[in-house]
Amino acid sequence: MVSRVIPVDPFDLVIFGGTGDLARRKILPGLYRRFCAGQMPEDAAIIGAARSEMDDAGYRQMVADAIREFGGVPPGEDDQIARFLERIGYETVDATGTGGWAQLKGRMREGCVRAFYFSVGPSLFGAIAERLHSNGLATADSRIVVEKPFGHDLASARALNRTLAQHFDESQIYRIDHYLGKETVQNLMAVRFANVLFEPLWNAQYVDHIQITVAETVGVGGRGGYYDKSGAMRDMVQNHLMQLFCLIAMEPPAKFEPDSVRDEKLKVIRALEPVDPHHIVRGQYAATNGDPDYRDDVEDPRSTTESFIALKCHISNWRWAGTPFYLRTGKKLRARASEIAVVFKDAPHSIFGAEAGRHRNVLVIRLQPNEGMTLDVTIKEPGPGGMRLVDVPLDMSFADALGPDAQDVTDAYERLIMDVIRGNQTLFMRGDEVEAAWAWTDPLIEGWTARGDVPKPYDPGSAGPEDALMLMHRDGRRWREIRT
């Protein structure tokens, strides 16, 4: 496979929160990899901006450390790193005051793409947006990149959208959901819309149900303060799982263009039915082998926030009426494994009789790890002994099929940042989409809060609470195993 890298236009990228965790773990190493891939033009400039007092040299050192720690850099790349650092600068800026803005402006060049990455808490979005304007840094085609969480509920998301809209046009706002930057997530669209094979079967007539699983092995770690106010519903379902859901369920957009795709996703969210409270299972991980339980991790002995959630949803439209979508996500589960499984219906009549058993085609799209696809097909078990049927996977690991280059998949963040520079919003969420997702999420959270629902404990390393298994068993179905 030949990878084709098309360099982007010259740009100035300012990272607010340039010394923070996300910048060090994802944004800066990602930019370095794009530089190594030859995608970054000679005159690209990356400027870290934060409150800490630091000069260019100090920041460059911090960036070099971050690249080495988080960038998967093989030894011997010192020259390469040094060349990358020539593009890096730093400005001490007071996001809510006046300090540093004039100096930051002084660093920006005319006539090249300007992007401002808000890698800061949402409480600072408004202040920064306003100061970019009042200090004359924002030009008509400047772009801003906004991190999740985009609001805490519908009201706060609306307020954020309004604040940003005072200073920037929707076409300038890039709301990141890094799941949309994952290779396989985009492949989902290729599989659906570039093949004739699947789309005719992609509906309630042929699909029995769809399962979406995003399982993690990590706990909430040092993010307890943030996480306990969010929980799995706000942290994962409202955004990442919702995006996967939309791409699986949406109608074919007329074009692979920002508004065509986002219009279709929005229709899916708006067609989601409210979820029956009996179809929601929330869980909290228990203690194990001396590791703390969830409540210890978040330092609230009475916390009722969920670190696991499973739900069954329905979409009220012609394509999906009656087809259940089962979603689950959680921390400290058996394996880090994310996949979407499209489980097709039984053949209408079995000519092989009841003894041949029940067999189903299942299309599995593995998001991570080992990205790829499997299609279970039913065949005759080889050998004598009559017509015995067996399901075998047509397995396609992208790495096996496409060669070693496929293993070197671009990280979600690097791809999305390059899309910002290119001015392509297809893989970013539009304001109305985010609001619609909250409008569906809010009543579910309000419902369980009003009911005083307490999450069920589950063992770390398990598949979540027993009730989550029952959610499917009651329907005569079962979850796929969580494994890598």
- Pairing label, strands 207-215, 325-330: parallel
Comparing CB distances to ligand BG6, the nearer of 193 and 226 is 226
Comparing CB distances to ligand BG6, the nearer of 91 and 235 is 235
Closest approach of ligand BG6 to the CB of residue 156, in Å: 17
Residue 473 is among the residues annotated as catalytic for this protein: no
For 262, other C-beta atoms within 10 Å of its C-beta total 22
Closest approach of ligand BG6 to the CB of residue 284, in Å: 15
Please give the residue whose beta carbon sits closest to ligand BG6 in the complex.
235
The residue type of 305 is T
Comparing CB distances to ligand BG6, the nearer of 178 and 262 is 178
Q: Which of residues 122-161 bind ligand BG6 (CB under 6 A)?
A: none
Comparing CB distances to ligand BG6, the nearer of 216 and 371 is 216
Longest dimension (CA), the chain: 83
Q: Which of residues 90-119 bind ligand BG6 (CB under 6 A)?
A: none
The residue type of 115 is A
Comparing CB distances to ligand BG6, the nearer of 88 and 311 is 311
Comparing CB distances to ligand BG6, the nearer of 235 and 339 is 235
Rounded Cα–Cα distance for residues 330 and 125 (Å): 29
Residue 411 near ligand BG6 by CB under 6 A: no
**Among 178, 209, 240, 314, which one carries the catalytic annotation?**
240
Closest approach of ligand BG6 to the CB of residue 243, in Å: 11
Rounded Cα–Cα distance for residues 382 and 401 (Å): 26
- At 108, list the tokens: 């920006």
Closest approach of ligand BG6 to the CB of residue 367, in Å: 8
Comparing CB distances to ligand BG6, the nearer of 143 and 182 is 182
- How many CA atoms does the CB half-sphere of 234 hold within 13 Å? 21
Number of residues near ligand BG6 (by CB under 6 A): 2
**Residues 185-224 as x/- pattern, contact with ligand BG6 by CB under 6 A:** -------------------------------x--------
Comparing CB distances to ligand BG6, the nearer of 307 and 361 is 307
Closest approach of ligand BG6 to the CB of residue 12, in Å: 27
Closest approach of ligand BG6 to the CB of residue 327, in Å: 15
Closest approach of ligand BG6 to the CB of residue 140, in Å: 31
Residue 235 near ligand BG6 by CB under 6 A: yes
Closest approach of ligand BG6 to the CB of residue 235, in Å: 5
Q: Which of residues 246-305 bind ligand BG6 (CB under 6 A)?
A: none
What residues make contact with ligand BG6 under the rule CB under 6 A? 216, 235
Catalytic residue annotation: 240
